[in-house]
Structure 1
């Protein structure tokens, strides 16, 4: 079985085991690097969605 990685919001670190509750983790990710970049990836997706012209909140 392939390893899975999570980004723990509480500890601000990558975890390989489900130590913290799911509500405090992002993932799973396939690689440690993906997990390390979890917050940046989420911010990029949020920015893209906020600027999507198909959605208009007016």
Structure 2
């Protein structure tokens, strides 16, 4: 799964499956609505939820500053 090359010879893409809470590849990925990605590596995909949480916190802080609130 972590070879970095798909069966077609293209660079492999990895996804975080929200349904199964696991890393999936092009060959075994759930429907797009149930996944985050693509990511270049399985490790990047495994950190997808952390990245989303960090991004949301950053955007919430920006919104608070925009509204004149202290964050």
* Structure 2 stretches lacking a partner, 5+ long: 1-9
Partner of 1:16: 25
Instruction: Give CA-to-partner distance per residue, 1:20-51, whole Å, 9 cap, x none.
Output: 11000000001111100000000000000000
For the aligned residue pairs, the C-alpha RMSD in angstroms reads 1.8
Which structure's relative contact order is higher, taking Cα pairs within 8 Å and 6+ residues apart? Answer: 1
Extract unaligned runs of 5+ from structure 1.
none
Is 1:56 the counterpart of 2:62 in the alignment?
A: no
Quick one: which of 35, 38, 42 aligns to 1:25? 35
Q: What count of residue pairs does the alignment treat as equivalent?
A: 57
TM-score normalised per structure 2: 0.72
Give the TM-score normalised by structure 1: 0.87
Which is higher, the Rg of structure 1 or of structure 2? 2
